[in-house]
Amino acid sequence: MTLLITGQTLAFVDDPFIVAPEDVVRHRSDGAVVVEDGRIVDVGAAADLSTRYPDAMRADHGEALILPGFVDAHVHYPQTAIIASWGKRLIDWLQTYTFPEEARFGDPEHAARIANTYLDLALANGTTSACSFCTIHPESVDAIFAAAADRGMAIWAGKTCMDRNAPEDLRDTAQGAYDDSKALLDRWHGQGRASYVITPRFTPTSTPDQLAALGGLWTERPDCLMQTHLSEQVDEIAWVRDLHPEARDYLDTYEAHGLLRERSLFGHAIHLADRERDRLAEVGAALVHCPTSNTFIGSGLFDMGLARRLRVGLATDTGGGSSFSMLRTMAAAYEVAQLRGQALHSSQLLWLATAGSARALHADGIGRLEVGAMADLVVLDLHSTFAIAQRTARADTLWEAVFPTIMMGDDRAVAQTYVAGRPMKTGRP
């Protein structure tokens, strides 16, 4: 079946952190996307493509904006049910909410229920791909991969490994982390649109032996990604310093155990030392900005200037983050940058939520509106609420029309979400 999707189209042609932000997109007010077998086979003017594909089924979105589906580069899907829980600082939040909830994921039925709920919420908000931490339970990994496969979604995920400074029922061992991770990797990595990610939670909850075991697994399977947390809060950094007085800095605790190279993703990375910044850039690692989480838990302000040197993705950080919406996350990224004196352009915000996150994940087939890419799309209604519509009515440029939706939009702004060309939004989950 050939599907012709019409509306305004927006495609990136370059990186807006390197090239002038106003000059990096190709916008058509009367655009169209042609989809066959789940992939984009043509992009152009609606009139031309209608003539070229006269027998195609049509999905007409009027003046709505068609762009690549949002890519959420750092989530904890097991924390879906505890999102927006009142808390203090990171460690208190983990002990009070996160660990008790994660202990439930040895139950396959509970894991499946939350996995399905999370993905339905993500799709309702225009997110077509995500990279998730799971729990120590293999059942939690199976659940998210199976739920994503049912929907045809691209998903990155891994067993979250911890063998110290966590409740007894959430601790494994160095060997257990290696064995479970290897078995899950062999079971899921490369199956359909599933990608396994080697996942130590962070240095405080993994002994040197466990970090080394996971570093060894990554050496055996360098095609995988490795994800963890880095320098989220000042007291966390002090904790790492106490645990590892021999290390030059927080990043060194990962590098010393084989967990730093190009395919590594570090969530948060707010309070970096100069050496850490230089080393991350040298190896080509990726950082993931989680702005709603960083403000909600009081962690600090990410330096978006790093996007000129490093791969940087954007993430909701469910459930430390306070929203499932990448639109809300873009708005928070704008506000955080403003507090650092860095005014982000609309094109930079959209890039972070699409191509930027895809690049952080080394995912060539998503985050782009071009021939050959997967037809993972989000369609934005730029007049979704009265407040947004009255502002958009005064817009003289594309960016003036888009910015109010970034700043004030939510799931109501998502007119449709397509995964491999299949419409996924049929109502509230």
Q: How far apart are CA 115 and CA 145, in angstroms?
A: 9
pLDDT of residue 85: 78
H or E element in which residue 348 lies: helix 346-351
Q: Please count the structural domains in the chain.
A: 2
SS3 call for 120: helix
Q: How far apart are CA 323 and CA 345, in angstroms?
A: 22
Nearest CA-CA partner of 275 in 295, 293, 260, 294? 260
Burial 78-96 (b: 16+ CB within 10 A, else e): bbbebbebebeebbebbee
- Give 287's strand partners: 266, 312
Q: How many alpha carbons fall within 13 Å on the CB side of residue 392? A: 23
pTM, full prediction: 0.97
Do 42 and 78 reside in the same domain of the chain? no
Mean pLDDT by 10 residues, the chain (429 residues): 97 96 95 98 98 97 98 97 78 79 95 98 98 98 98 98 96 98 98 98 98 98 98 96 98 98 98 98 98 93 97 95 96 98 97 98 96 98 98 96 98 98 77
Do 210 and 288 reside in the same domain of the chain? yes
pLDDT of residue 368: 97
Do 333 and 371 reside in the same domain of the chain? no
Do 242 and 386 reside in the same domain of the chain? no
Q: What residue numbers bound the domain in which 416 lies?
A: 2-68+367-423
Query: Domain for residue 429, yes or no?
Result: no
Do 292 and 371 reside in the same domain of the chain? no
